[in-house]
Chain A
Amino acid sequence: GAGVSQSPSNKVTEKGKDVELRCDPISGHTALYWYRQSLGQGLEFLIYFQGNSAPDKSGLPSDRFSAERTGGSVSTLTIQRTQQEDSAVYLCASSLIPAGVGELFFGEGSRLTVL
């Protein structure tokens, strides 16, 4: 697609439920990143994919969080047994080459509210 696409744009869920957030990066972009942005806070790195592998998972806050990427394209971020502190905007970004050098393009984010 023309840009990074994320879905759903908004998700309201009950505490304890599992949620899946989807990211469709720009076609051809090998690097994909997930970030979390809490209200009034900066972006918090979660995980980085190069192709289908995740060389850096250091930002995942707990074992309730996991992510996968298939076919070097679409990625899914899964949060199990959601907690209220998981409420945030989850942003996905992609780049043609690793973002330490390459331009980073962001999606519009998925706003998660855990009641």
Chain B
Amino acid sequence: KNQVEQSPQSLIILEGKNCTLQCNYTVSPFSNLRWYKQDTGRGPVSLTIMTFSENTKSNGRYTATLDADTKQSSLHITASQLSDSASYICVVSLLNTPLVFGKGTRLSVIA
């Protein structure tokens, strides 16, 4: 069964600190992996998309890594800001089939 598991389920960090979110998947064959940010009451917004041949991709303070051999990805947030408080969703896709969404990690950044 194609699954995407994210950890931790929730996380609280102090403003200015770094954090890393994890994503493990069993989706096969694998096309690409995406990370989305979803603010409360809003639709998800794309942060990164990586194909199986990419190991890392950055978008400002967000850096995603991918290990296609172990089927693991991480999202690292540097120098967190209050506006980073959101749910971060890992999404894995196969070609021409529905995307497989993780349940997300709820991040709270506090002052």
Contact = CB atoms under 8 A, between A and B. Distances in A.
To the question of whether A and B form a pair in one complex, the answer is yes
Interface of A: 4, 33, 35, 40-43, 45, 48, 56, 58-59, 91, 93, 98-101, 103-109
B31 A106 contact: no
Contacts of B41: 108-109
B66 to A, nearest CB: 16
Contacts of B45: 106
Nearest to A42: B103
A64 B37 CA distance: 31
B99 interface: yes
A91 B43 contact: yes
A6 to B, nearest CB: 8
Given A42-B89, A43-B89, A100-B96, A108 B103 contact: no
Interface in B25-50: 31-32, 34, 41-46, 49
A107 B43 contact: yes
Contacts of B89: 42-43
A100 B27 CA distance: 12
Contacts of B97: 56, 100
Interface string B83-109: 000000100011111110111100000
B42 A108 contact: yes
Contacts, number: 56
Contact of B99 (A41, A91, A104): A104
Closest 6 CB pairs of A and B: A106-B43, A42-B103, A45-B98, A43-B101, A100-B95, A42-B101
Give the secondary structure class of B's interface. Answer: loop
Interface residues of B, number: 22
A104 B33 CA distance: 12
The residue in A45, A104, A107 that gathers the most chain B C-beta atoms within 10 A of its C-beta is: A104
Contacts of B34: 104
B102 to A, nearest CB: 6
Contacts of A93: 43
A54 B77 CA distance: 38
Contact of A103 (B46, B96, B101, B104): B46
